[in-house]
Amino acid sequence: METQMTDNTSKRLSFSDIEQAIERLDDPEVVKRTPVERSTSLDDRTGGEVHLKMEHLQWTGSFKTRGAYNKIERDVVGTDTDRVVAASAGNHAQGVALAATKLNIDSTIVMPKTAPQTKIDATRGYGGEVELVGQDFREAMNHAQSLAEEGSAELIHAYDDPAIIAGQGTLGVEMYEDLPSVDTVVVPIGGGGLISGIAMAFAELSPETRIVGVQATGAATVPDSLDKGIPKTLDSVDTIADGIATGGISELTLSIIENHVDEIVTVTDSEIARAVLFLLERSKQVVEGAGAASVAAIMGEALDVEGKTVMPLLCGGNLDMTMLQTVLVHALTNREQLLRLRVRIHDQPGKMQEVSGIIANHGANIRNVRHDRSAPELDVGEAYLVFQVETSGAGQARNIIRSIRSRSYEVIHVNA
């Protein structure tokens, strides 16, 4: 089965390219076979049979080394080119740096200034020379392209390259071999290289398997691109899933998605945060927002997998600790395990102690409390006490609010 492009480069990609990539990647020090684990918690939640493909346990913490290594070995090794250039917010950066180092090729990785420091450090640790340029992926990409054009370096695109897609397609073959009976495969989408490779692998090996792509709502370009018939880009992206925040796809990946992907769904950052926390609590896995998007899709209403054997792909695990804190606070707030209450009081001695006692009587923990005496709606002699409270969940939160109101205090739940 072959996908042919009509652009001026006449790009072609077939299953044999994926098979050749498998041979190039036959080194467990470059790409290891990642495990699949059944999630009975997600079975209960979704009504399906859920098997998690744990690619976040790959070297560098994501699938990106597959495509990068295949591209560099196929098109760079043995030529006069002695350096590769790439642009990335983190995962592609690490994949290119590791692949280039393994193949004794120098690499320059252009990363946005906003990239997490942990990903910058990791990229350097894998042997890449890092340049920080711009505020987002697009600015970094523009600079990487100029570096490649000015020198003799080869640009390693994150997704718009048949060799990259073929390398990512090796993961699709692995997923099929892991679970030949799979009904539905769920794959996060940024630029579309990953789902393109996986979809082409399944089109050859199991065409009846449903391929579903997931994008973050704040970075979703595929639905509009499919509707318009051309790749559409966003001026800016807004999502905690930085690994899929490319803000655009290519003609190549759009063509493959049109031909081989059955369904596209979107998930919100709140749903992604909930999935990150769920995987941490139930599966004991630390997965970044992009990697958790597939689980977010089946946990919510975006995708019905009841009665199906489904394999969500956890494609990345490079979760910055600052982002982890942000995600956890957001998810715990949504579950009302982290509660912010604003209580209006007469600003007199003993009032804080009284309200604090009501909260303590419910067995909840007060993380912090502050006085606010400057709100314009307050009368003279009034103040707000703003509590941040840890609870066991929504039930305990409601009981606390009810008890405070029963003592004639005005209380507002201000998490939103």
Q: What is the pLDDT of residue 277?
A: 93
> How is residue 1 written in tokens?
């089965």
Res. 152 pLDDT band, cuts 50 70 90: confident
Could you report the per-residue pLDDT of 199-225, keeping only the tens digit for each?
A: 999 999 999 999 999 999 999 999 999
Looking at the DSSP bridge assignments, the partners of residue 342 are 386, 412
**First-to-final CA distance of the chain:** 50
Lowest mean pLDDT among 31-40, 191-200, 238-247: 238-247
Measured N-to-C along each axis, helices 91-102 and 117-125 cross at an angle, to the nearest 10 degrees, of 10
CA-to-CA dists, residue 37 to 154, 310, 311, angstroms: 38, 12, 10
**Average of per-residue pLDDT across 133-155:** 89
Query: pLDDT confidence of 267, banded at 50, 70, 90?
Result: very high
Secondary-structure percent of the chain, ordered helix, strand, coil, rounded to 5:
45, 20, 35
| Whether the Cβ atoms of residue 383 and residue 372 lie closer than 8 Å to each other | yes
- Joined together, the tokens standing for residue 246 give 């490319």
Whether the CB-CB separation of 89 and 117 falls below 8 Å is answered with no
Q: Which amino acid is at 104?
A: N
The residue among 161, 158, 171, 164 whose CA lies nearest residue 67 is 164
CATH class in words for 64-155? alpha beta
The fold for domain 13-62+162-331 equals Rossmann fold (3.40.50)
Tens of pLDDT along 71-84? 999 999 999 999 99
Q: How confident is the model at residue 109 (pLDDT cuts 50, 70, 90)?
A: very high
Q: Could you tell me which of 285, 290, 286, 284 has the C-alpha nearest to residue 272?
A: 290
Question: What confidence tier does 7 reach under pLDDT thresholds 50, 70, 90?
Answer: very low
Alpha-carbon distance 322 to 28, whole Å? 31
Largest Cα–Cα distance of the chain, in whole Å? 80
Structure confidence at residue 407 (pLDDT): 95
Q: 139-146 long-range CB contacts below 8 Å, 24 or more apart?
A: 139/112, 140/87, 140/88, 140/89, 140/110, 140/111, 140/112, 141/87, 141/110, 143/87, 143/110, 144/85, 144/86, 144/87, 144/108, 144/110, 145/87
- What CATH superfamily classification does 336-413 receive? ACT domain (3.30.70.260)
What pLDDT does 322 receive? 86
pLDDT at 379 (0 to 100)? 94
CB 223 within 8 A of CB 217: no
Mean pLDDT for 44-54 is 97
CA quadruple 129, 134, 140, 144: dihedral sign? negative
Q: Could you give the CA distance from residue 65 to residue 25 in angstroms, rounded to a whole number?
A: 9
State how far the alpha carbon of 115 is from the alpha carbons of 135, 231, 242, in Å: 9, 25, 9
Cα–Cα dist 275/315, whole Å: 14
Domain edges within the chain: 13-62+162-331, 64-155, 336-413
> Same topology for domains 64-155 and 336-413, yes or no?
no
Average pLDDT, the chain: 93
User: Is 320 exposed, middle or buried (CB count within 10 Å of its CB: 0-12, 13-18, 19+)?
Assistant: middle
CB burial string 77-111: b at 16+ within 10 A, e below: eeeebebbbbbbbbbbbbbbbbbbebbebebbbbb
The C-alpha torsion from 220 through 226 and 229 to 231, rounded to 10°, is 30
Strand partners, 131: 110
